[in-house]
Amino acid sequence: MEVLLIEKDPLVRDQVKVGLQQLADVHVTVGQGYAGINEMRSKHFDCVMLGVDPRQKDTVKLLHHLRSFDTTTELFVLTAPKNVRDMGHDKTKYNIHSFLLTPIQPKEFFGLLGRMLERHAEMQRKHQTRRGTPAPARR
């Protein structure tokens, strides 16, 4: 699974990166700003984790830029709890799968990762079944 991580706060970015790296089947690419988002134009990512603070307009512009050319990649927004209510209307507008609250709480983070990996594995099984390829056995 390929994950693109874009987060300005170095502490949050490092926590998420290290957490993702604990999972054997997850490959993390860390990007910055527009250059990071534009990596999606040349490489497929299964998921994007993007730090957004509605009070920092540059981060909202990144979210808009991402969805201007890719509306389907699973998107998780990293943001402070106080921002979730303010961004509630943006969840549908930008097809945000989920908000991950910062500072990162390990239980919440790994729960989210577990659900994400299960969805990804299920999508792969469905795709393989449609193609006539047997699905790999579950562990």
Residue 115, in any domain of the structure? no
**Across 2-12, average pLDDT:** 97
Angle between helices 10-21 and 106-131 (to 10 degrees): 50
Which domain range does residue 28 map to?
Answer: 2-104
Residue 7, in any domain of the structure? yes
Q: How confident is the model at residue 134 (pLDDT cuts 50, 70, 90)?
A: low
Residue 127, in any domain of the structure? no
Whether residue 16 is predicted with pLDDT greater than 70 in this model: the reply is yes
**Across 69-90, average pLDDT:** 94
| CA–CA distance, 37 with 20 (Å, rounded to integer) | 19
Residue 123, in any domain of the structure? no
Whether residue 129 is predicted with pLDDT greater than 90 in this model: the reply is no
Q: What angle do CA 80, 110, 3 make, to 5 degrees?
A: 80
Whether residue 57 is predicted with pLDDT greater than 90 in this model: the reply is yes
**Across 34-57, average pLDDT:** 96
Residue 98, in any domain of the structure? yes
Q: What is the pLDDT of residue 135?
A: 53
Residue 138, in any domain of the structure? no
What are the residues whose beta carbons fall under 8 Å from the beta carbon of 109, sequence distance 6 or more? 15, 16, 19, 100
Residue 21, in any domain of the structure? yes
User: Any idea what the CATH number is for the domain that residue 44 is in?
Assistant: 3.40.50.2300
The number of folded domains in the chain is: 1
pTM: 0.90
Residue 14, in any domain of the structure? yes
Give tens-digit pLDDT for 97-122: 999 999 999 999 999 999 999 998 89
